[in-house]
Amino acid sequence: MIYNREYETMPRDDLEQLQTERLQSTLNRVCRNVAFYKSRFDENKIDIEKIKSIKDMGILPFTTKDDLRKSYPYNMFAVPLRDIIRIHSSTGRTGKPIAVGYTVNDIQRWSERVARVLAAVGITENDFVQIAFNYSMFTGAFGIHYGAEKLGASVIPSSSTSNIGDQILIMKDYKTSVLLSTPSYALSIASKLAEMKIHPDELNLKIGLFGAEPWSEKIRAKIEEKLHLSAYNAYGINELVGPGTAGECEQKNGLHLCEDHFIAEIINPQTLGPVKPGEEGELVFTTLTREGFPLIRYRTGDISCFLEGTCPCGRTTLRMKRVSARTDDMIVLRGVNIFPSQIGLALKKAGLAESDYRLVLENEEGMDVLEIQVGISESLFNDEIKVMVSMKNRIIEQFKDDIGLSPKISFVEPETLRGKTSQKRVIDNR
């Protein structure tokens, strides 16, 4: 189903004209209200009056995650704080959060965009939508919640919980027809179903919409086989708006971008110039309708490409390929963004400031698991098991406090971290 036919099927020429008008309005607004952009444009001698179309955007400077981190908490807001009705946050490279503000209009537009994404995979007002994303400072659960209610569906805000059995009982009792979660959490549900000897056909699931972490076509097939539903991919990042940036339609041939709200570019992350059509590069977004937190040419760090040709669904918006990698060393685990630098800081707080480490990611029975291999010098090894266990527990507790996740901890000899894989801080076997 096409939720907003006016914008989702708009002729390309008309869409480009709309983007140009909204871009000009956004540039004027950030110049007036955001000191960062006024200063950046002045430094680069940019006259925004010369931006006559989206083809002129190449002269505008990029915005980076570090820029947002340095502006923490409110220096990037484009409206007075009294007009901000919601604040979410994202994690910066060093672990320092990035505050993202929303006005009433931002929330309303966000809801409408997510409704489009949900409708595109066949979700309707007759569905019971179980949201198993974590309700937190991150945007995922709230955005999906707003969009589902906008669509008229019945929302079950079960959140993400370690008690998968309870999640399944909710599905069974409330006749859930749509599951929304990370793909790894969906696989955990599938494993628990088998353990509880509940056949997926005893449930009412028909659609799953998954995101917030990388996943492949192989994982899609596995989820569909084990849960007997049709699985779809959604894309969004906290700094932009969260869910509602792009999503698949029932054709499953790329994620449609909400181009009336964003201008998307693909650049070469080394040269910062445009790539050839169909070539992979870094996704860059400019917001067109955000009031509280507008962004100009924001470098996401996500690697993707635009798909050529039209989609049989009738939408005219650009389609992007699922994100294949990152330009930096960030990893995504169960919907949480983690930088290796955060790992080092947590180890330091736990009393292991000089220790080397490596991150190993595995998928065990559908659940993504992080193992941290910590190099311990001979002087730190202790014959008393209780001393080593206490040290491990201290590290785990520090990670829970700093990052919100409990990793596995392995103590290894430092030499094992300096072998053939010494160049690799992160080994992702998922």
Contact 261, 26 (CB under 8 A): no
Closest of 87, 192, 183, 188 to residue 138, by C-alpha: 87
d(CA 239, CA 68): 9
Q: Which residues are CB-contacts of 364 (< 8 A; sequence separation ≥ 6)?
A: none
d(CA 275, CA 271): 10
Quick: pLDDT tens for 309-366.
999 999 999 999 999 778 876 788 877 778 777 887 888 888 776 678 888 888 776 6
Locus of tokens 């096409």: 2
What is the pairing mode between strands 336-338 and 255-257?
Answer: unpaired
Token readout for 165 is 């059995």
Contact 329, 388 (CB under 8 A): no
* Amino acid symbol at 180: L
The pLDDT of residue 422 is 46
SS3 98: strand
Closest of 291, 136, 146, 313 to residue 212, by C-alpha: 136
For residue 101, which phi and psi values (nearest 5 degrees)? -105, 150
Token readout for 287 is 């917001």
SS3 24: helix
Handedness of CA 100, 103, 106, 112 (dihedral sign): positive
Which stretches in the chain have pLDDT values below 50? 92-94, 420-422
The pLDDT of residue 421 is 46
> For residues 250-271, b (16+ Cβ closer than 10 Å) or e, as one string?
eeeebbbbbbbbbbbbbbebee
What is the pairing mode between strands 306-307 and 319-320?
Answer: antiparallel
**How long, in residues, is the chain?**
430
Closest of 52, 97, 51, 95 to residue 71, by C-alpha: 97
What DSSP character marks residue 184? H
Closest of 120, 115, 111 to residue 255, by C-alpha: 120
What DSSP character marks residue 81? G
* Portions of the chain given CATH number 3.30.300.30: 339-428
Closest of 71, 87, 112, 79 to residue 292, by C-alpha: 79
What is the pairing mode between strands 262-267 and 255-257?
Answer: unpaired
* Portions of the chain given CATH number 3.40.50.12780: 1-327
d(CA 166, CA 168): 5
For residue 21, which phi and psi values (nearest 5 degrees)? -60, -45
Closest of 146, 97, 153 to residue 122, by C-alpha: 153
> What is the rounded (10 degree) CA torsion for 146, 152, 155, 160?
-40
**Which CATH number does the domain 339-428 belong to among 2.115.10.20, 3.40.30.10, 3.40.50.1820, 3.30.300.30?**
3.30.300.30
Closest of 383, 382, 381, 407 to residue 394, by C-alpha: 407
Architecture of the domain whose range is 1-327: 3-Layer(aba) Sandwich (3.40)
d(CA 202, CA 401): 39
What DSSP character marks residue 422? T
- Cα Rg for the chain, rounded, in angstroms? 23
**Alpha-carbon separation of residue 1 from 5, 40, 249 (angstroms):** 9, 42, 9
Contact 308, 251 (CB under 8 A): no
